[in-house]
Amino acid sequence: MSSPHLPVLFEAEYGGARHVGFGRPEDGARQTLHRVGDGAVAAAFVATDGSEAALRAALTEGAESVVVTTGDPGLRLLPPLLPTASGKALLSGFMGTHKKKWGGRTAPVDGEFTPPKWFFKGFGDWVRLPGEDLIVPGRPVALIEEPEVALVYVNDADGTPHYAGYTFGNDLCDIGLHRRDPGYNPYCKLCDTALTPWLFLGPPPRTVTGRVTIVRDGATAWEGGFDCGDDALYHRGQDMADHLFTYPAVRRPGLVNYVLLGADEASFHDGFRIADGDRVTIDVKSHGVTFDNRVRFVSPAPHTTPAAAPAPGTEASVAGA
């Protein structure tokens, strides 16, 4: 079941300026964009109730507008609310959140909340968009695609987080390295993550279903379904977010947070191994969103670390040799 009725907001660069648009037009359709300043959309979520009507009023009244065609080469979509300044947005998420990984159970409603493991993926400007390559280290142990819901928050001037909406992503990572030693998880997460530019307005989704297709050399190499909505989680999304925002480091004024809620089992669990050049397509059928990215293995640059200093006394003995 698709959800075309859900209100959607997006940002884009066009004609050297930042713009905001509403809705997701089909390819070749006409779309009205409204010029906004950097951070204006994030500020609108702080200043309003976050509804589509309030956001339209705050962002379009008196703004210059332009009508473009979807697919215009001069139109560059942006991750939702991404600030221009580097380091003003963080991408992070939770692990082991799905009921499948807890024997189909859900966390006790009245029990003490035990937070799942959390990871830091990178700054917001590390996020890749649909169609862009996802770069991973040159010799991964075993990669896994992870279709996920990403909640988007913006902090106000006092550091209070304001929920803006949600989007979808592929949190590519090296699960093989993680399984070799969970202590290596920070290394495991040093792979690019893709987010779609569409910000769905409204509460986090209870049901998100879709299908992954991995194409290699022009042919389908693996495909399978996924479910990453709130109803599929062991931990409640609201509990996870509430716990994360008890930490002052993620409550810094003006900071945008992209919070990944975890993934269903995927190709790795079926015995498949992603290879260099594979194209991963994620079709979020419940929401009518499809995006794809090519995976690229990148070898490290030549070694540039200087040699260690000689041990004490070594220089003198060499000089007298």
pLDDT digits over 27-76, tens only? 778 999 999 999 999 999 999 999 999 999 999 999 999 999 988 999 99
pLDDT at 304: 67
pLDDT digits over 228-262, tens only? 999 999 988 889 999 999 999 999 999 999 999 99
32 strand-pairing partners: 67
pLDDT band at residue 141 under the 50/70/90 scheme? very high
Distance of CA 213 to the CA centre of its chain: 19
Q: For 6-16, what is the mean pLDDT?
A: 95
The residue ranking higher by pLDDT, 110 or 317, is: 110
pLDDT digits over 79-127, tens only? 999 999 989 999 999 998 989 888 888 888 887 888 999 999 999 999 9
Q: 149-158, 175-184, 294-303 — which is least confidently predicted?
A: 294-303
pLDDT band at residue 2 under the 50/70/90 scheme? very low
pLDDT at 1: 38
**4 pLDDT above the threshold of 80:** no
**318 pLDDT above the threshold of 50:** no
SS3 content of the chain, % helix, strand, coil (to 5): 20, 35, 45
Q: Is the pTM of this model over 0.85?
A: yes
For 32, the token pair is 């009205």
pLDDT at 314: 59
Amino acid at 92: S
Q: Where are the alpha helices (DSSP H) in 85-203?
A: 175-180, 185-188
pLDDT digits over 262-298, tens only? 998 899 999 999 999 999 999 999 999 999 999 999 9
- Angle, nearest 10°, between helix axes 52-60 and 40-47? 130
All domains of the chain in start order, with CATH = 1-78 (no CATH), 82-298 (3.90.850.10)
pLDDT digits over 164-199, tens only? 999 999 999 999 999 999 999 999 999 999 999 999
**CB neighbours (10 Å) of residue 77?**
17
DSSP type of residue 56: H
pLDDT at 306: 75
- Confirm if 227 and 143 have CB atoms less than 8 A apart: no
